[in-house]
Structure 1
Amino acid sequence: MMKTNAYVFTGGPGAGKTTVIRELAQLGYATVPESGRHIIQEQVRTGGNALPWADEKAFRDLMLQAAIADFEALPSAGAPVFLDRGIPDVIGYTKLIGLPPEALVIPPYRYNPRVFIFPAWEDIFCADTERKQDFATAIRTYEVMVSVYTAAGYELVTVPALPAMERVAFIIARV
């Protein structure tokens, strides 16, 4: 199943994806937030163990469930919808934590062939209570996402290091 109106933002952590998603939402565009941060917050709140610093596989499994549910909830056509990460990001995370991605059962869901990738950007990168990765991990994550999305046949559009609203204009011009 393909949803050509669904545009994925991917890349390393702390590269500005969420900021751009928020700006697009402020402009009235439909957006889907990153599930990983919500999962971490929920696991911490409930005392769960499905956290990237505790049980990486359980965390990955929850992210996959959320990514599939997000995809299934998307309209099949119409105005663009912007997603802060997609199902292939879970494959990338699986590789990053050293698990075999072949073991994942992923439905044949496809987003718009054009994926916006945000390179690691040290000037804006910062860790927080949910993002505990360092900048070197952000770079590795970016590289893995390039590999995963390219192997899946997506066209990557690199989002330049610009102020948020200029990034928004860049993206809207390419949708």
Structure 2
Amino acid sequence: MNNRLVLISGCSGSGKSTLLAELSARGHAVVEEPGRRIIAEEMASEGKSLPWVDLAAFLRRAIDIALADRIAMSSHDGWVFFDRGLVDAASALEALNGEPTLRPLCMRHRYHHRVFMAPPWPEIYTTDADRKHGLDAARAEYHRLMEVVPALGYDVIELPKMSTSERADLVLASLCGDLINPDR
């Protein structure tokens, strides 16, 4: 099992993508959020798997993409950082319609034992063409994930509200001990 697949999750609009860009600039492999990729594809093709049109279809596609991303990056030698992933999509689908996808999928397809969670950060939160939901919905999403992620056996590290560079330093320092014992 590759324990170098690291999930960065949490609240929408809380600096996750900016953190991933910083980790990429430092030479680490990163995987863009499935949701943003789906929205770009669906908008280009006038598709219907958009979160504001058919949320269940959107989440099923996000699960498929997150699984493909994990498989594609599983043999990578260094750290791989995921901007959201399987846990996010599966837990959202389960919350939406009660489909019991979360536990079976997420226990079979694990990330590194530490998951970094970005909390709500109203001072930087914005909506855009792809993020139409407000801060209250983002907060609810965060609280759902803060229940789900530890219940799946992950150690949660909440990212402090600090500069992007400091956040990247914290993530990398938190993972340094795992270089000594990478099979944990």
Give 3-state SS (helix, strand or coil) of 2:30's partner. Answer: strand
Runs of 4+ aligned structure 1 residues displaced above 6 Å come to none
Query: How many angstroms apart in 2 are the aligned matches of 1:122 and 1:11?
Result: 13
User: Residue 4 of structure 1 contacts residue 77 of structure 1 at CA under 8 Å; is this kept in 2?
Assistant: no
Partner of 1:20: 19
Per the alignment, residue 158 of structure 1 pairs with 158
> Against the structure 1 CA distance between its residues 75 and 95, is the aligned structure 2 distance closer, same or farther, given a 3 Å change threshold?
closer
Q: Which runs of 5+ in 2 are unaligned?
A: 176-184
| Larger RCO: 1 or 2 (CA < 8 Å, sep 6+) | 1
* Counterpart code for 1:34: E
Identity of aligned residues (%): 33
Aligned to 1:116: 116
Counterparts of 2:115 and 2:67 in 1: how far apart (Å)? Answer: 17
Q: For the structure 1 residues 153 and 46, does the alpha-carbon distance in structure 2 shift closer, same or farther, using more than 3 Å as the test? A: same
Q: How far is 1:77 from its partner?
A: 6.1
RMSD of aligned alpha carbons: 1.5
Q: Which amino acid aligns with 2:37?
A: H
Is contact 2:34-2:85 (8 Å) kept?
Answer: no
Range with bigger deviation, 18-27 or 103-112: 103-112
Runs of at least 5 residues in structure 1 that lack an aligned partner in the other structure: none
Query: How does 1:133-144 map onto structure 2 within 5 Å?
Result: 133-144=133-144
The one-letter code matched in structure 1 to 2:128 is D
Name whichever structure is richer in helix by fraction. Answer: 2
Matches within 5 A, 1:57-136: 57-76=56-75, 78-96=77-95, 98-103=96-101, 106=105, 108-136=108-136
Q: Distance in 2 between matches of 1:128 and 1:77?
A: 33
One-letter identity of the residue aligned with 1:88: V
What residue is the counterpart of 2:181 in the other structure? none
TM-score by length of 1: 0.94
CA deviation after TM superposition for structure 1 residue 78, in Å: 2.8
Between the aligned partners of 1:163 and 1:130, the Cα distance in structure 2 is 24
The SS at the match of 1:110 is: coil
Q: Deviations over 1:30-53 (max 9, x none)?
A: 111101011001101100000000
1:110 Cα shift?
Answer: 0.6
